[in-house]
Chains A and B, each alone.
Chain A
C-alpha cells in the first residue's frame, strides 16, 4: 500500500478583504465578491515566503507521520510559482531545516498552480517503485497579483506538505492520471515580476477543459463515478471555478465543501488543491474516497484518487487542523500595509 503517511498545512495570519483592494482601484467590490465567490485572501508578511511556509507545513506533516526519522526521507520536491530563488532550490533549505540532509534527492517544480501536485505525483512513483522509503512533496506559494488586475483579489499564500510512504499510510493512492496540453492561458516571462493572463480564455479552454480532461480520464480508468466518492477537491483559483467544474462533472456541493477554502483563503496557487486536500483529510473517516484534481495554467491537471485508512482517526489531531489556521486568530490589513508587505511599493534599493 502506498500513499500519504503524514500531511500538514501552513498559512499566514494576515488577511485583506476584497473591499479594501477594490477601494483603491475604484472597482465594484460586490460584483467582484459575487463573480469570484471570494471575500478575502491571505497575505504573507515580509518574513514569510514559500520556504518558510513549506518548513512549517512539513513540521505538521511530520507530527502526523509519527516517529519517522527525517533522515529516511529520500526525496524533497517543492512545487511553487514563487520560489525565493530563481536558481537555488527551495528544497535545500527545507530539507536542512527538518534534518533530512544529506542523503536525499531534491528538485524544485514549476507548472503554475499544479507544481505542488506534481511533487506529490512524483513522490508516489518513487515510493511505489521502491526507490525511496519516504518522499516529501510540498505545494506552496506567496503568489503575486499585478496591482489593479483581477488576480490581485485572489493571489494569496499558503502551503501543504505530504509525506508519501508505504508504512502507516493514512490515505492510500488508488489511481493517478496526468493530462496536459500546450495552452497559454496564464504565464510569466523570465525577469517579469507579475504574471500575465488571457482573461476569459483562462476559463473554458483552459481550466475547465483540462480539469475535466483529467477527471474524466481517471474516472474511466478507475471505473468510478462521482457518486462513488465521499469528497472531491478541485483547484480553486477563486470560489466559483471549483464549484462549477464539480457540478459539470456531477459532484455535489457537499462533496466539495470540506476542501473548498478559496472564499476566505484566496488562491494559494501551488498550494490550492493540496491545502484543500489537507482540510478534507482533517474531517474524513476511514474508508472515505477523495478525488483530487489540480490545475496548472500552461496547462495541465494531475488527478488522484485517495482512500482514507483507519489510521486517520489516530493521526488527524496530532497537528493543527487546516480550518483552524484558516478561520482563527486573524489580523486584517489595509491596502497600504498589504502593498508594503508584498513589495509593491517602489523604493531606492
Chain B
C-alpha cells in the first residue's frame, strides 16, 4: 500500500480519533465532512473507547494475498461502549471459540506487511477481554 494512504489514516487507525456531530451528537468513525444523520458540518474530536462486545464474526479461511500467512483468522463487528460499531480482525484467540456477545478490547497491532520492502501498516484489532 502506498505510504500516503497509510499516513492519512494514522489518526483514526492509531488513536481511534472519531468525530462527534456538534448538532445531533452522532459519532462518526472515521472522520467525515458531513454528518450522515443530520447533515450538520461541524464535529468535535472524540477518542473511541477501547472495549466493547462482538455483534457478529466470521473465520476467514480463504484469505486475500496480504493475509494468507494469518489464515485462518477471524473478523468481526464489535459495538463499543459508546455505541460506535467497528470492523476489525479478532486476534489472540482460538478461532473456534469465538462467540457472538464476547467482550473485546482493542489492541494496537500490525495489520499489513508489504513484502520485504514496503511500508508497514498498523492499526486496531480486537482481542478477547480477559482483564
Query: Which residues of A are in contact with B by a Cβ distance under 8 Å?
Result: 13, 45-49, 51-52, 55-56, 59, 84-85, 93, 96-99, 320, 324, 328-329, 331, 340, 349
Contact = CB atoms under 8 A, between A and B. Distances in A.
Given A45-B91, A93-B122, A331-B94, A349 B110 contact: no
Contact of A97 (B94, B108, B120, B131): B108
B82 to A, nearest CB: 18
Contacts of A13: 92
A349 B115 contact: yes
B110 A46 contact: yes
B5 interface: no
A51 B122 contact: yes
Nearest to A341: B69
Contacts of B122: 51-52, 93, 97
Nearest to B13: A97
Contacts of A98: 15
A49 B116 contact: no
Nearest to B127: A13
B14 A340 contact: no
Nearest to B89: A47
Interface of B: 10, 14-15, 69-70, 89, 91-92, 94, 107-111, 113, 115-116, 120, 122, 125, 130-131
Given A47-B125, A97-B14, A349-B116, A56 B110 contact: no
B108 A55 contact: yes
A49 B110 contact: yes
A46 B69 contact: yes
B108 A56 contact: yes
A96 B10 contact: yes
Given A45-B91, A56-B108, A93-B122, 19 more contacts: A47-B89, A47-B110, A49-B110, A55-B108, A56-B107, A59-B108, A84-B110, A84-B120, A96-B14, A96-B15, A97-B108, A97-B122, A98-B15, A324-B131, A328-B130, A329-B131, A331-B92, A340-B69, A349-B115
A320 to B, nearest CB: 5
A47 B70 contact: yes
28 contacts: A45-B91, A46-B70, A47-B89, A47-B91, A47-B109, A48-B109, A51-B110, A51-B120, A51-B122, A52-B108, A52-B109, A52-B122, A56-B108, A84-B120, A85-B120, A96-B10, A96-B14, A97-B15, A97-B108, A97-B122, A98-B15, A320-B131, A328-B130, A329-B130, A331-B92, A331-B94, A340-B69, A349-B115
Contacts of B108: 52, 55-56, 59, 97
A52 B15 contact: no
Contacts of A84: 110, 120
Contacts of B69: 46, 340
A328 B116 CA distance: 34
A42 to B, nearest CB: 12
Contact of A47 (B15, B111, B116, B130): B111
Contacts of B89: 47
